[in-house]
Amino acid sequence: MTSTVHDPTVRDPIEELRTTLEEQFQRHSDQLAHLTVCSRQPDRGGFDDDILEALIVSSRQVVADTAQALRRMAEGSYGTCERCATDIPLQRLEILPHARFCVPCQRKRTG
């Protein structure tokens, strides 16, 4: 007979991913705010204009992707491929917590 006692030292992988996503959201939101302030300074905060713009675009995308992943968690659809509706493997989510597609579908999307 197996034991069904809950071990409090074992964390739910999805809850760990939620924590990772929340931390990532906060970190990139802070970075975006800093970069936005820099973009309004005459010297651009010491950044090259093109590099600053690329960093802002990148930060915006990460914030949007992360917010979308947190939304999917709240809705109960997190971890399901948006194209084929199969489960996205936990290993992929651990590497890319905001993944929306399984690897085969992502390859089809990006060619």
Name the pLDDT band for 111 (thresholds 50, 70, 90). confident
Q: Which of these, 23, 13, 10, 21, lies nearest to 88 by C-alpha position?
A: 13
Indicate the pLDDT class of residue 11, thresholds 50, 70 and 90: confident
Sign of the four-CA dihedral 49, 53, 54, 56? positive
pLDDT by residue (tens digit) across 95-106? 999 999 999 999
Given a contact cutoff of 8 angstroms between Cβ atoms, the answer to whether 74 and 88 are in contact is no
In the block, tokens 């194209």 appear at: 83
State the CB neighbour count (10 A cutoff) for residue 70: 19
Q: Indicate the SS3 state at residue 21.
A: helix
